[in-house]
Homo-oligomer: A and B are copies of this chain.
Amino acid sequence: MSQAYDSIYDWLSTEDKKFLEENLFHPYADFLSEGNPKFFNRIHNHSTWGNAAVGMIGLVMDNDELVNRALYGLENTNIDKAARDNDGGLIQQPGQKAGFLANIEEAFSPSGYYTEGPYYQRYAMYPFMLFAKALQNKRPELKIFEYKDGVLIKSVDALLNLTDADGEFFPLNDAQKGMSFFNKSVIMAVDAAYYYGEQDPRLLSVAKKQGEVTLDDAGLAVALGLKNDKEKEFQKKSIVLSDGSKGNKGGVGILRITEDESIFSLVMKFTSQGDSHGHYDKLSYSFYNDGEEVIQDYGFSRFVNIEPKNGGGYLKENTSWAKQSIAHNTIVQNETSHFNGDFDTGNKYHSEKYFSDFSKDNVQIISAKEENAYPGTKMQRTMALIKNDIFQKPVLVDIFRVKGDQSNQYDLPFYYFGQIIETSFEYDSPEKLEKLGSKNGYQHLWKEASGAAEAGNARFTWSENNKFYTLTSATMQNDSLILGRLGASDPEFNLRRDPVYIWRKSNTKDAVFASVLEPHGSYNPVTELGNNSFSQVQNVEVLLDSDEYTGIEITGTNKNKLLLVISNNDAEDQHNIKIGNREISWKGNYTLIEN
């Protein structure tokens, strides 16, 4: 509306302008702000839309009061301190600022990560960028694109890093799969970041894929940049995006490793809650083979704009399933979600990055800790993408340590896709399918089979999109292995019937879940030839586990061995330890030894 008014502003008579402004625009801006303080004064993408609307009409009308209201929020509101939005979020955190600048300040970390996640960042980029562009034109002294060390420009880079090989956003928190950088908001954001930022030539290659530019100075600059062959590839590398306005509330690690033409990507989440769109998914991950999900994050339970599905709005299964911890590839204790699924509790805490190292070609590694999701239980997960002669393709090594102050049940799910090819363990298939549990998301899973692990390894091989994957897990005698499928307690058929493999340890205080996820082989349905349908991992073993060190050894079918040792504390020190008869020493958080 502001844009439309701006476009015809000079053509209108003074009378008409006065009429429109007094009877339409000013009252409407007041309605959006003073009339709806709970909507306007929040840190939330909804408020950003409101701030931008009020601020932009203020800029057109040259009304400083409206512009300032947009930038800094309403000064005096009578918002109840305990008031909540219909999505469960607090309207206003104590002591929190409001308005457009506060939303830039609070919602983005210094790295440009938007706390609600990439799906909603994509949505919020529209008002953020549009208002910022208008401010840059009319209030250049504000240097909005330099605000918070240029975070709006950085946020575009962060958003592009949060995509798979197809340009689709990783579906962290509430998110629809398939949303990608082809969305209009992102086209606009990329053009603006190029023009108002430092003409980063990598953005040109993204704009080229988008195949569209905005009809303004920014779009023109991009088009000219492309015309003059200035683009460079936007190479997505391993990166940690911090979360929290000061970058001190955990983050997201994206690890990438390339083999032949394929990129394997690991997305590990150790953020804060993510506001009202957050999921209870501490230390969870997803894993991609180029643009294909190998281990998935479910995303949200919603069919946007599909009228018959609750008018296109959030479905109740978003709360009962999609947000719950068991819907994620992370540990669930005693069939209860992190923070007991309580938003206020979750909102107080965040995970912590422990270390990461992306400096080596054959290993990309990250480690994070979470000590608040279950009071009394400490969790630490270290994940690494490793290339080695043992494996046909890079593998994902996962060392998930958990330390309880009492005996618990720990479940670690793996949301794979596709067809089971082979398992190394025996299991029972029931004559009737029962639900895996009664609440916290467990009521939505059917138990298709369950078996007891042996001391040693459990091997699970499946096939998806004509590729093979094997998960080899270092199991103990009383572990159980459950094959489940989504769809129970779902009378409206709102949930996809996705499969899951769950590794369970019962009556356990301390445990290490160590496993290797190994992509291998391929199948061609036209030639009917398959290759490497068997795993190249012969054994995975936890050689050492203490408060100080955890060490696992991977043995290949070629008899080569790989030893990965993590120092669980005092990360930067020099370490000298003995494993069996062998003395090893290294400096830093971890060592990876071939032999």
Which chain A residues have a beta carbon within 8 Å of chain B's beta carbons? Answer: 176-180, 182-184, 303-309, 419-422, 429, 431-435, 446, 448-449, 461, 463, 483, 485, 487, 489-493, 496-497, 499, 523, 525-530, 533-534
Kindly state the separation between the CA atoms of A429 and B444 in the bound complex, as whole angstroms. Answer: 12
Copies, count: 2
Which B residues lie within 8 Å of A182 (CB)?
Answer: 526
The answer to whether A429 and B490 have CB atoms under 8 Å apart is: yes
Question: Given A306-B533, A421-B308, are A526 and B179 also a contact pair (CB < 8 Å)?
Answer: yes
- Using A305-B530, A420-B493 as known contacts, list a sample of 18 further A-B pairs with CB atoms less than 8 Å apart, ordered by residue number in A: A176-B528, A177-B525, A179-B526, A180-B525, A304-B528, A305-B523, A305-B528, A306-B421, A306-B463, A306-B533, A308-B421, A429-B489, A429-B490, A432-B432, A432-B435, A433-B433, A449-B491, A485-B487
Pair A183/B526 contact, Cβ less than 8 Å: yes
Nearest CB in chain B to that of A420: its residue: B493
Asked if A306 and B525 sit within 8 Å, CB to CB, the answer is: no
Residue of B nearest to A449 (CB): B491
* Chain A to chain B contacts (Cβ below 8 Å), 24 pairs: A178-B526, A179-B525, A179-B526, A179-B528, A180-B525, A184-B527, A303-B421, A306-B530, A307-B534, A308-B422, A308-B461, A308-B534, A309-B421, A429-B490, A431-B435, A432-B433, A432-B434, A432-B435, A433-B433, A433-B446, A448-B487, A483-B493, A485-B497, A497-B499
**What 8 A-B pairs have minimum CB-CB distances, sorted nearest first?**
A178-B525, A433-B433, A420-B493, A308-B422, A429-B491, A304-B528, A432-B432, A182-B526
A372 to B420, CA, bound (A): 39
Partner of A308 from B449, B528, B533 at Cβ < 8 Å = B533
A496's partner among B183, B419, B446, B526 (CB-CB below 8 A) is: B419
Chain B min CB distance to A214 (Å): 16
Tell me how far the C-beta of A531 lies from the nearest C-beta in chain B, rounded to whole angstroms. Answer: 9
CA distance A591 to B124 in the complex (A): 57
CA distance A493 to B448 in the complex (A): 10
CB neighbours of A309 from chain B (8 A): 421-422
Q: Which B residues are in CB contact (< 8 Å) with A419?
A: 493, 496
Alpha-carbon separation in the docked complex, A448 to B166 (Å):
35
- Complex formed: what's the CA distance from A446 to B424 in Å? 26
A175 to chain B, nearest CB (A): 11
The smallest beta-carbon distance between A477 and chain B, in angstroms, is: 23
Q: List B contacts of A183 (CB < 8 A).
A: 526-527
Nearest residue, chain B, Cβ from A427: B491
| List of B residues within 8 angstroms of A491 by Cβ | 429, 449
Assess whether A529 is in contact with B180, with CB atoms less than 8 Å apart: no
Using Cβ atoms and an 8 Å threshold, which residues of chain B touch A435?
431-432
Residues on the B chain within 8 Å of A526, using CB: 178-180, 182-183
**Residues of B close to A533: CB separation below 8 A:** 306-308
Contacts of A305 in B (CB 8 A): 523, 528-530
Which chain B residues border A487 with CB–CB below 8 Å? 448, 485
**Smallest beta-carbon distance A545→chain B, Å:** 32
Q: Which residue of B lies closest to A177 (CB)?
A: B525
Query: Which of B176, B303, B306, B497 is the one whose CB lies under 8 Å from A497?
Result: B497
CB neighbours (8 Å) of A432 from chain B are 432-435
By a CB distance below 8 angstroms, the chain B residues around A528 are 176, 179, 304-305
Cα–Cα distance between A499 and B446 once the two chains are bound (Å): 15
**A487, closest chain B residue (CB):** B448
Question: Distance in Å from the Cβ of A467 to the closest Cβ of chain B?
Answer: 12
Residues of B within 8 A of A446 (CB): 433
Alpha-carbon separation in the docked complex, A523 to B307 (Å) = 12
With contacts A419-B496, A497-B497 taken as known, whether A306 is within 8 angstroms of B433 at the C-beta atoms is: no
Q: Distance (Å) between the CB of A299 and the closest chain B CB?
A: 11
Interchain CA distance A421-B253 in the complex, whole Å: 36
A178 proximity list for chain B (CB < 8 A): 525-526
Chain B residues within 8 Å of A523, by CB: 305-306
Interface centre among A419, A493, A530 (most CB of B within 10 A): A493
Residues of B within 8 Å of A307, CB to CB, are: 530, 533-534
CB distance from A157 to the nearest CB of B (A): 20
Give bound CA distance, A121 to B461, whole Å.
Answer: 32
The minimal Cβ–Cβ distance linking A455 to chain B, given in whole angstroms, is: 23
Closest to A490 in B: B429
Name the residue of chain B whose CB is nearest to the CB of A446.
B433
| Shortest CB distance A503–B (Å) | 17
**Chain B residues within an 8 Å CB radius of A422:** 308-309
A239 to B376 CA separation, bound complex (whole angstroms)? 71
Report which residue of A184, A429, A526 has the largest number of chain B beta carbons within 10 angstroms of its beta carbon.
A526
**Nearest B-chain residue to A443, judged by Cβ:** B431
Report how far A35 CA is from B311 CA in the complex, Å: 71
Q: In the docked arrangement, what's the CA distance between A492 and B446, Å?
A: 17
Q: Which residue of B lies closest to A167 (CB)?
A: B526
A525 to B177, CA, bound (A): 7
Residues in B whose Cβ lies below 8 Å from that of A179: 525-526, 528
CA distance A526 to B211 in the complex (A): 14
Complex Cα–Cα for A304 and B177 (A): 32
Distance (Å) between the CB of A137 and the closest chain B CB?
Answer: 28
Considering the chains assembled together, what is the distance between the CA atoms of A305 and B521 in angstroms? 13
Q: How far is the CB of A461 from chain B (nearest CB, A)?
A: 7
Docked Cα-Cα span, A440 to B489, in Å, equals 29
Give min CB distance, A167 to chain B, whole Å.
10
Neighbouring B residues of A492 by C-beta, 8 Å? 420
Tell me how far the C-beta of A423 lies from the nearest C-beta in chain B, rounded to whole angstroms.
9
CA distance A410 to B420 in the complex (A): 33
* A304 cross-chain contacts in B, Cβ below 8 A: 528
